[in-house]
Amino acid sequence: MSSTTQKTGFGLGNLPYGIFSTVDDTRCRIGIAVETYVLDLSVFLQQQPVQNLDFDSSVLRDETLNRYAALGQPVHQHVRAHLQQTLPRLLKQDETGLRAAGLCPRSEVLNHLPFDIGDYTDFFTSPDHARRCGEIFRPGQPMGSNFSSMPLAYHGRSSSIVVSGTDVYRPSGQYLKDGVKTFGPSQKLDFELELGVFVGKPSQRGKPIAIDEADDHIFGYVLMNDWSARDIQQFEAQPLGPFNGKNFCTTDDLPCYLKRSDGRVEHVYDIPVDIFIKAPRYDGTLVMSSNTKHISFSPAQMLSHHTVGGCPMRAGDLFASGTLSGATLQEAGCLLEATWNGIQKLELVSSQGDGASEDDVRTWLKDGDTVSFCVGGAASDIDFGACEGTICSKSSSDT
């Protein structure tokens, strides 16, 4: 029997969505994480119909969340309230009862990408990240006045977005090495901690989303890792922005509902996030601790700005905050800042207690390294699941 007092970050106040399958049933289906279980939403709503809510229930049998997300906040809030009311009773059952109710242990499920992601947009809204990137990449050029006027962004690549746990292939590309043009595997592989936002209710071309309507178009939030190859990025990025330095892989996890604590459209969420690096002989070193609050524009402001010129949003479109970095290097969201473009070294803590080795230090990611983002703080009510990926020794140019 499950204990409802067990602290998992997946309590009734969280209830993140996902797409999952199991060994016994390989269909991709919509799930809700609760405590140590995943609830099959379609099974649940068949057995426990939600009252006074009319929607096309065929969306519950889809292999992605796109059509369900498009139903909009009123439907999701209704379902959420119904789950919060019904789940405590269901969770008190024995193993057989739990399975019959559509609940299966999270340890048994395979997660899949929650959406068929149409477009992915990466914002650039952390003032400390922007300041340091400017000092490193464009020394002597002050940040333009546009940075404070609006949430700057660039379009990213959706085809390379993967679910947490998927391996990351080290990209090859062109870059300058000691000032000489070269081609080869990136020598400056990095991560970027970001807060991602999935669009639910779509908008039409030519119809901006007003700032006070933006939250109605947001389905949920994820932690994201926008893996970056700094050498490739630096050589290619002027004048058009990042391209191959960013498009080889982006990792996301489970979309959570976040409620504004103060109801203001400028609201940013205050969620501490720890960054760990694990390696074959290193159990997992906490290298930095950042926070989702390190942004100068709120998600609602980002979405409103994105559509102000008439750009249409589809359910499943994704946008992200940009790297979340705080005032100190210990609060940076990427190695570029923490190691100051490879100059400072970060030390990993060996799990084997043996002597110092050159494997102990990192300026950039090595093959075999696993990067994990986890909600920090002892008593957080929110857990996005792991946002984790391991660098594959196979370079993309070896294939």
Q: Which is nearer to a second copy, 284 or 312 (CB)?
A: 312
Q: Which of 11, 39, 101, 119 binds a second copy (CB under 8 A)?
A: 119
Within 234-273, which residues bind a second copy (CB under 8 A)? 235-245, 247-249
The reply, when asked if residue 233 is annotated as ligand binding, is yes
The contact pattern for a second copy, residues 76-95, with x = CB under 8 A and - = no contact, is --------------------
- Residue pair 186/316 in contact (Cβ under 8 Å)? The answer is no
Measured in Å, how far apart are the chain's first and last C-alpha atoms?
Answer: 49
Nearest to 67 by CA among 85, 79, 84, 55: 55
Owner of token pair 């070193």: 285
CA–CA dist 90, 101 (Å, integer): 7
Total number of residues binding a second copy (CB under 8 A)?
64
Q: Which is nearer to a second copy, 52 or 146 (CB)?
A: 146
Q: Which is nearer to a second copy, 31 or 333 (CB)?
A: 333
Hey, how many other C-beta atoms are within 10 angstroms of the C-beta on 45?
Answer: 19
Output the smallest distance, CB 285 to a second copy, in A.
27
Output the smallest distance, CB 305 to a second copy, in A.
7
The reply, when asked if residue 359 is annotated as ligand binding, is no
CA–CA dist 297, 321 (Å, integer): 9
Strand bridging mode 161-163 / 250-252: parallel
Q: Which is nearer to a second copy, 1 or 176 (CB)?
A: 176
Q: Contacts by 243-249 with C-beta closer than 8 Å and gap 24+?
A: 244/171, 244/173, 245/171, 245/173, 246/122, 246/156, 246/157, 247/156, 247/157, 247/160, 248/160, 248/168, 248/169, 248/171, 248/396, 249/160, 249/162, 249/166, 249/168, 249/169, 249/389
The reply to whether 184 sits near a second copy by the rule CB under 8 A is no
The reply, when asked if residue 250 is annotated as ligand binding, is yes
The reply, when asked if residue 297 is annotated as ligand binding, is no
Q: Which of 129, 267, 305, 306 is catalytic?
A: 129
Output the smallest distance, CB 24 to a second copy, in A.
28
Q: CA-based diameter of the chain, in Å?
A: 67
Output the smallest distance, CB 286 to a second copy, in A.
29
CA 268 to chain centre: 16
372 DSSP β-pair partners: 276, 388
Q: Which is nearer to a second copy, 219 or 257 (CB)?
A: 219
Structure token digits, residue 331: 């609060």
Output the smallest distance, CB 114 to a second copy, in A.
17
The contact pattern for a second copy, residues 297-336, with x = CB under 8 A and - = no contact, is --------xx-xxxxxxx--x-------------------
The contact pattern for a second copy, residues 127-166, with x = CB under 8 A and - = no contact, is ------xx--xx-----xxx--xx-xxxxxxxxx-x----
Catalytic residue check, 82: no
* Catalytic residue list: 129
Residues at the annotated binding site for substrate?
A: 124, 138, 233, 323
